[in-house]
């Protein structure tokens, strides 16, 4: 609906907040504010153990959000990540129960993510259908596959070695945290230092122009979908190995949360803006916010309200700043 922007009158917004959010480093400021609040609420907040726990808590969601960010930069969405998280864990666990080795089960788990990503990407690229609706449909489709596979039961991990992925530590830092941070840095380097990475932004800003300049936009979007599916599957494996068991709706809510994290990190929902390092900051904001709400004894149900509210404020600011630029 970009054509609307030309004629709509000047939007009103919370001025100071808007100016704050206009700049890319807003997410850092937001994180800083939350950190200071948390410091005042509890002296134990800044203990190394608590900080590491926060990181560990958000690492699986963070990996999903990294893939989502890559996709958002090209101007696409994937709402199916939530149930892909479940599907990959289920595939790995069920294949282990069927007698497959550790490595093969991990590869199988990752490959279902790739398959769902391919499915989404092919439909979106070739039919130019609305990405949101297609991935919403495929999300429910994957959920039904999850239900069929698990028969609505909880399945436990069969091979002990699989548990190290989510629970193992090196120097007090969990593997999943390391995977998350390394992946973020690698994707950041990919986006900033390689030509293909820069194409992601061009496609997000204007797909038509990108195609006219000879960029294989469809292939790159397809690749982004596969990457998103892959990261979701990886997060699913990590979550499964952390909890030691899996259920059909293991990752429920992650679709929305990954969007929130990316947006909190300054990624534009219209494509062309954002990077994975700031998504890490966005994820940290979510983690710290969650920690604060627990510290002040907020009811569990209200956490969703807080998240929704923060999300709405940020997208409002994003929309207003976009109007202003045009």
Partner 1 sequence: MFDIKNIYLFIKKPVVILLLFLLIFFSVCAKPYFLNPLNIHNLLRQISFDVPLALAMMTVLIVGGIDLSVGSVLSMSAALTIGLQDKGMHVGVIAALCFGVIVGFINGIIVTRGGVVPFIATLGTMTLIRGALLLYTKQQSIAGSNEAFTFWGNGSLGYFPIPFILVVILSVILFCFLKYTRTGRNLYAVGGNFDCAYLAGIKVDKTKIIAFIISGFLASFSGVLLASRLNSSTVHIGLDSNMWAIAAAIIGGASMTGGKGNVLATFIGVFTLGVLVNGMNLMRVLTYYQIGIKALALIVIVVFDAILIINMSKKKKRVIIADESL
Options 101, 161, 168, 308; binder of partner 1; rule CB under 8 A: 308
Stretch of 54-62, 102-110, 131-139, 160-168 lying at the interface with partner 1 (CB under 8 A): 131-139
Q: What is the 3-state secondary structure (H, E, C) of the chain?
A: CHHHHHCCCCCCCCHHHHHHHHCCCHHHHHHHHHHHHHHHHCCCCCCHHHHHHHHHHHHHHHHHHHHHHHHHHCCCCCCCHHHHHHHHHHHHHHHHHCCCCHHHHHHHHHHHHHHHHHHHHHHHHHHCCCHHHHHHHHHHHHHHHHHHHHCCCCEECCCHHHHHHHHCEECCEEHHHHHHHHHHHHHHHHHHHCHHHHHHHHHHHCHHHHHHCCCCHHHHHHHHHHHHHHHHHHHHHHHHHHHCEECCCCCCCHHHHHHHHHHHCCCCCCCCCCCHHHHHHHHHHHHHHHHHHHHCCCCHHHHHHHHHHHHHHHHHHHHHHHHHHC
Options 158, 169, 198, 322; binder of partner 1; rule CB under 8 A: 322
Token pair 């820069």 is found at 198
Q: Toward partner 1, which CB reaches closer, 178 or 269?
A: 269
Give the footprint of partner 1 on residues 241-270 (CB under 8 A).
256, 259, 269-270
Give the footprint of partner 1 on residues 74-93 (CB under 8 A).
75
Options 15, 40, 99, 127; binder of partner 1; rule CB under 8 A: 127
Q: Per rule CB under 8 A, is residue 297 in the interface with partner 1?
A: no
Q: Per rule CB under 8 A, is residue 22 in the interface with partner 1?
A: no
Q: Toward partner 1, which CB reaches closer, 237 or 310?
A: 310
Q: Per rule CB under 8 A, is residue 140 in the interface with partner 1?
A: yes
Q: Per rule CB under 8 A, is residue 134 in the interface with partner 1?
A: yes
Q: Per rule CB under 8 A, is residue 212 in the interface with partner 1?
A: no
Q: Per rule CB under 8 A, is residue 302 in the interface with partner 1?
A: yes
Residue 280 C-beta: closest distance to partner 1, Å: 22
Q: Toward partner 1, which CB reaches closer, 118 or 178?
A: 118
Stretch of 91-99, 162-170, 184-192, 305-313 lying at the interface with partner 1 (CB under 8 A): 305-313
Extract the tokens encoding 311: 């999300």
Q: Per rule CB under 8 A, is residue 318 in the interface with partner 1?
A: yes
| Residue ranges that bind partner 1, judged by CB under 8 A | 1-8, 11-13, 75, 123, 127-130, 132-134, 136-141, 143-145, 147-148, 152, 207-208, 256, 259, 269-270, 299, 301-309, 311-312, 315-316, 318-320, 322-323
């Amino acid at each position: 609906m970009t054509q609307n922007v030309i004629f709509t009158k000047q939007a009103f917004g919370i001025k100071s907040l808007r100016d704050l959010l206009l700049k890319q480093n807003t997410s850092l400021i937001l994180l800083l504010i939350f950190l200071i609040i948390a410091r005042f609420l509890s002296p134990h907040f800044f203990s190394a153990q608590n900080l590491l726990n926060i990181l560990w808590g958000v690492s699986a969601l963070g990996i999903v959000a990294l893939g989502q960010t890559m996709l958002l930069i090209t101007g696409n969405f994937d709402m199916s990540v939530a149930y892909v998280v479940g599907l990959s864990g289920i595939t790995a666990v069920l294949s282990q129960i069927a007698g497959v080795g550790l490595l093969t089960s991990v590869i199988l788990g990752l490959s279902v993510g790739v398959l769902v990503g391919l499915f989404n990407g092919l439909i979106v690229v070739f039919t130019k259908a609305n990405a949101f609706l297609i991935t919403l449909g495929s999300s429910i489709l994957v959920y039904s596959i999850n239900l069929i596979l698990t028969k609505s039961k909880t399945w436990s991990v069969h091979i002990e070695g699989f548990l190290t992925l989510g629970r193992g530590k090196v120097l007090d830092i969990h593997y999943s945290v390391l995977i998350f941070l390394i992946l973020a840095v690698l994707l950041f380097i990919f986006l900033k230092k390689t030509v293909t990475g820069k194409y992601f932004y061009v496609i997000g800003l204007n797909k038509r122009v990108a195609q006219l300049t000879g960029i294989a936009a469809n292939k790159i979007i397809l690749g982004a979908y596969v990457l998103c599916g892959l990261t979701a599957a990886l997060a699913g494996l990590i979550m499964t190995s952390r909890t030691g068991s899996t259920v059909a709706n293991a990752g429920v809510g992650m679709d929305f949360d990954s969007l929130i994290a990316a947006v909190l990190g300054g990624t534009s929902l219209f494509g062309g803006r954002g990077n994975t390092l700031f998504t890490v900051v966005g994820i940290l904001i979510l983690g710290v916010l969650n920690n604060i709400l627990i510290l002040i004894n907020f009811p569990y149900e209200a956490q969703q309200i807080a998240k929704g509210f923060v999300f709405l404020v940020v997208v409002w600011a994003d929309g207003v700043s976009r109007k202003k630029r045009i």
